[in-house]
Amino acid sequence: MDLLERDVELEILESALDDAGTRSGSVVLIGGEAGIGKTRLVRSFAQIHADDARILWGACDDLSTPRTLGPLRDIALQVGGHLGEAVAAGTRGDVFDAAFETIAGGTRTTMAIIEDVHWADGATFDVLKFLGRRIEQTPTTLLLTYREEEVPADHPLMLVIGDLPASAVYRLHLKPLSKAAVDQLAAGYDGSTDGLFTSTRGNPFLVTEALMSSGGDIPANVRDAVRTRAARLSPQGLAVAGYISVVPSQTEFWLLEALPEFGPEALDECRQRGLIESDGRAAWYRHELVRGAMEESLTPQRRRALNALALESLVSRNADIARIVHHARRAGDAAAIAAYAPAAGRQASAASAHREALAHFRVAVDHVDELPTQQQAQLLTDYAIECYFTNEAVEGLAAAERALAAWRQVEDTTHEGDTLRWISRLQWVLGHSEEAITSGLAAVDVLSSVPRSKELAMAYSNLAQVFMLAQQADAAQTWAAKAIAVARELDDQGTLAHALNNLGSTMLRAGDMEGYPLLEESLDIALAGDFDDHGGRAYANLIWTALDYRQYAKAEQYLEDGLAYAWDRELAGSIYYITAERARLDLERGRWQHAETDALWVLNRPEEPGITQMPALATYARLRVRRGDPDAVETLEEAWHLAEPTGELQRIAPVAATRAEWAWLHNDLSGIRDAIAEAYRRAVEVQQPWITDELTFWMWRAGQNTEPLGGPTTPYALQMGGDWRGAADAWQAIGCPYEQAVALLDGDDPDCLLEALEILDGLGAMPAAAKLRRKLREMGTPAVPRGPRPQTRANPAGLTPRQAEVLELVATGLTNAEIADRLFVSPKTIDHHVSAILTKLGAGSRGEAAEIAETWNRV
């Protein structure tokens, strides 16, 4: 079929490739429905440039669980060298480096094509993010094809796209053919071209299927067309077509030769019927829709038999293990699943494709009885650990408990103790702090009965972490010291970094600033040893501590370095957590638009666990309360329900303080006490500087007679002592404008109160500003400023760039769901944006907001 109505797309591809020739590479996203011609477009373009560009080709397959780094493995077969070695080893950092070297190191412009990226595994998505953020410095055009109907807003591909620099991305949406194009293709067609266009909706693949059908009849669907064509095959041809249909992607000739009916004549017959294509090395269906239709036409018994035949051949050739598992599952071979799925899971885990690893382990566990007891124990342990990494803690805890019983059965004390340590960790994730301590102590008890080991050092450090998070400083320091001693003795640098982090964090929470050097040492060890998780955690705790102590210059430096480190290594959890910390910093420094952007960016990552959602949601709730956003209290209660079960003061205190602030803004003194009482009790027990003082301050607001912890010169102590001017000056020196204004609000000097009002209006802190205006009027202050009107602001209503973009789309009449789809974010994020827009505009409805936007456009 001719390549019709794709001139614009080809021009864009040419432009992208030209730019790559000047080392200004890009990512081209080619989306459209199945059969729309994505593959034909990229293959035609590649053929045009076969002589003047280096073409790299990889594909993702519709397997039960995706191949780990599948398209990278395809490309490695073409280029070999470092990429082949890195992919085989599966080491995350090496794969990143080798992939970048491959696309950036050619002597010619490179065109790298990855087809059907919607089927990619998590490790491949990580590599694509890594390459995409660096593509502009390479001579490469990276073409990614995907089916739009299989990529909802929360699909991992959408998160990859959202993280790429906009300047490096081209988006191509392939549209159906026009009626004129269908007429051109149908020259000589005996049937009605109107009916052809209507029934196929201009889909090029469906048009071709209709034109290839007999008698001029338009098949009702692809399945009917394929069955009609297959019915004309000889028994040998039908056998070949059926066998190839059960193999996603390409069927190598050595795999075909396992079929008794295979022969060149049978394959050629399939090709003549328009089903199969071949290059002399492998055969494949000309479209995935055709393959799927043919596979569906097989009886269940025949399908299982063909998968069993493919399985036997793949095993004999030691083929890609994900392919082996796919056919084992389709063949219903329990023994093969038990034998190969665990190895496939471990391969995926090594590449940090944790979702895919968990999928393999889940399948394997269903057949765990096929394995000896020791292998059962190892499988269940691996399964539990992957559940931890994928935030499936309930499922992981159940698996770990089964693993524990199996390790005890084979009397493996070291693994028994290490599994108890994992149980402790999973219990902590679930908010069961007391159980986590009990299991952690049991792990230490078991591991102490065998020679000193790295497992014992980590068990000590796990207890230190649990006690640190529970604010039990003495116990945390005791166990951290034990962990450090054993780690140094065994030269276990990873555990040493973990334990130093726990000890330093514990000391700093207790007000001992000597904890900083320990945290810095933990970071240095992690960086030197490429312990990515420990490095990310060290940065996160250094930032959090600096924020707690209001040491903003230090926090900003750690933030800059930490985010650069996390992005460079594609440490998603660290990126999200540190970004949430940056949102908190910006909120406290008065950069509220930046705070909102970062908080919502993190909250829009649905695959991330609560550990990253909690600080982002706490900041966003406080921001909404301070702005007076509609439904702010709902966001606040959502944050509370996420934080309260943890039992950790670092999670509970910020949200409790915000709940108290909301009550204060609404003149509800009893509400302040109710909001703060439990958090205040815990804070007084642990006496953590600044956090205890902040909660004490709110109890003072509620009328309680309380004493600050931080001494008489902290801003909280000054304000509680009646020195509101001194408190305001202290907050100004620290760099907290909102707190400065609120301190001034306690005074009675009209000039100071007007200064506070200017600060609050500038921030957009409407509830506090309204409270202050009431006070000024009650004092008889003349000409109290009314506050800025939206139409008089340089940036209308103080909208962020994203909010302005959302408002523009609202004005066109799009729904929130349609806007979310347009901007590649979740509908919930758009809901938040629209609520904020209505508040800032003072609009009562979307229609009113659209009218205001239209007024701005006229002006």
Query: 62-71, 213-222, 643-652 — which is least confidently predicted?
Result: 213-222
- Whole-prediction pTM: 0.79
Average pLDDT estimate for 658-662: 96
Q: Which of 32, 44, 47 minimizes the C-alpha distance to 204?
A: 32
807 close to 837: Cβ distance less than 8 angstroms: yes
Beta strand pairing call for 26-32 and 140-147: parallel
* Residue 607 confidence (pLDDT) above 50: yes
140 forms beta bridges with 110
pLDDT higher than 50, residue 859: no
**Comparison of pLDDT for 796 and 386, the residue scoring more:** 386
Maximum distance among all Cα pairs of the chain, rounded to whole angstroms: 100
483, amino acid identity: A
Residues sharing a CB contact under 8 Å with residue 420, sequence separation 6 or more, in sequence order: 404, 439, 440, 442, 443, 446, 459
Rounded to an integer, what distance in angstroms lies between the CA atom of residue 332 and that of residue 336?
Answer: 9
Q: Whole-angstrom Cα distance, residue 134 to residue 608?
A: 24
List pLDDT tens digits, range 38-52.
999 999 999 999 999
Distance separating alpha carbons of residues 276 and 700, to the nearest angstrom:
79
**Burial annotation 306-333 (CB, 10 A radius, 16+ → b, else e):** bbbbbbebbbeeebbbbbbbbbbbbbeb
Q: How far apart are CA 506 and CA 522, in angstroms?
A: 13
Q: Which residue has the tokens 């070999």?
A: 80
> Residue 55 carries which DSSP code?
E
Q: Does residue 159 have a pLDDT over 70?
A: yes
Please give the mean pLDDT across all residues of the chain. 89
**What are the strands, taking DSSP E only, across 395-497?**
none
Give me the DSSP letters along 437-457.
HHHHHHHHHHHTTSS--HHHH
Report the alpha-carbon distance of residue 128 to residue 432 in Å, rounded.
37
C-alpha distances (whole Å) from 608 to each of 426, 576, 643 are 16, 8, 15
Task: Report the C-alpha gap between 300 and 279 in whole angstroms.
Answer: 30
List, in sequence order, every residue forming a beta bridge with 284; answer none if it has no partner. Answer: 277
Work out the pLDDT band at 839, boundaries 50, 70, 90. Answer: low
Q: Does the pLDDT value for residue 314 go beyond 70? A: yes
CA torsion sign for 732, 737, 738, 744 is positive
Q: Tokens 């944006």 appear where?
A: 833
Residues paired with 111 in a beta bridge: 55, 141
Q: What angle do CA 167, 47, 187 make, to 5 degrees?
A: 105
| pLDDT tens per residue, range 176-207 | 999 999 888 888 777 778 878 887 888 888 88
* pLDDT tens figures, 326-375: 999 999 999 999 999 999 999 999 998 999 999 999 999 999 999 999 99
CA–CA–CA angle 114, 115, 118 (5° rounding): 105
Ranking 63-67, 169-173, 393-397, 608-612 by mean pLDDT, the lowest is: 608-612
User: Which tokens belong to 464?
Assistant: 């230190």
The candidate with the shortest Cα–Cα distance to 663, out of 678, 651, 675, is 675
Residue 343, both tokens: 């190895």
DSSP result, 219-236? PSSHHHHHHHHHTTS-HH
Question: Taking a C-beta distance cutoff of 8 angstroms, is the pair 255, 240 a contact?
Answer: no
Amino acid at 338: A
Q: Which pLDDT score is estimated for 686?
A: 83
Tell me the residue type at 534: H
End-to-end CA distance of the chain: 52
In DSSP notation, 3-54 reads --S-HHHHHHHHHHHHHHTTT--EEEEEEE-TTSSHHHHHHHHHHHTTTTSE
The yes-or-no verdict on residue 606 having pLDDT over 70 is no
Token pair of 35, please?
A: 């059969």
Q: And the tokens for 316?
A: 């004999």
Q: Residue 842: pLDDT band by 50, 70, 90 thresholds?
A: low
> Which residues neighbour 830 within 8 Å (Cβ) at sequence distance 6 or greater?
806, 816, 817, 819, 820, 823
Q: Which amino acid is at 711?
A: G
Per the document, the length of the chain is 859
Contacts of 399 (CB under 8 A, 6+ apart): 365, 380, 381, 383, 384, 387
The tokens for 564 are 């650069």
Question: pLDDT digits over 543-587, tens only?
Answer: 999 999 999 999 999 999 999 999 888 888 899 999 999 999 999
Could you tell me which of 578, 569, 567 has the C-alpha nearest to residue 541?
578
pLDDT at 851 over 60: yes
Helix ranges restricted to H, 286-320: 288-297, 300-316
Residues 6+ apart with CB under 8 A from 858: none
For residue 856, pLDDT over 60 is answered with no
Q: Tokens in use for 794? A: 């340089």
**Residue 62 to residues 114, 119, 250, 306, 360, Cα–Cα distance (Å):** 14, 6, 11, 17, 15
State which H helix or E strand residue 141 sits in. Answer: strand 140-147
**Per-residue pLDDT, 739:** 97
- Kindly state the percentage of the chain with pLDDT values over 90: 66
Burial of 585 (0-12, 13-18, 19+ CB in 10 A): buried
Give the residue, 522 or 605, on which the prediction is more confident: 522
| Residue carrying structure tokens 């700093």 | 508
Beta strands in 255-365 (DSSP E): 276-278, 282-285
Task: Count CA atoms within 13 Å of residue 503 on its CB side.
Answer: 24
- Euclidean distance between CA atoms 663 and 672, whole angstroms: 5
How many other C-beta atoms can be found within 10 angstroms of the C-beta atom of residue 298?
Answer: 18
pLDDT for residue 857: 55
423: tokens are: 């149980």
Residue with tokens 């990873």: 494
**How far is 460 from 639, CA to CA, in rounded Å?**
32
More confident residue, 571 or 90: 571
Residue range 442-461, pLDDT digits in tens: 999 999 999 999 999 999 99
- pLDDT confidence of residue 245: 95
Give me the helix-helix angle, 592-603 and 610-627, nearest 10°: 140
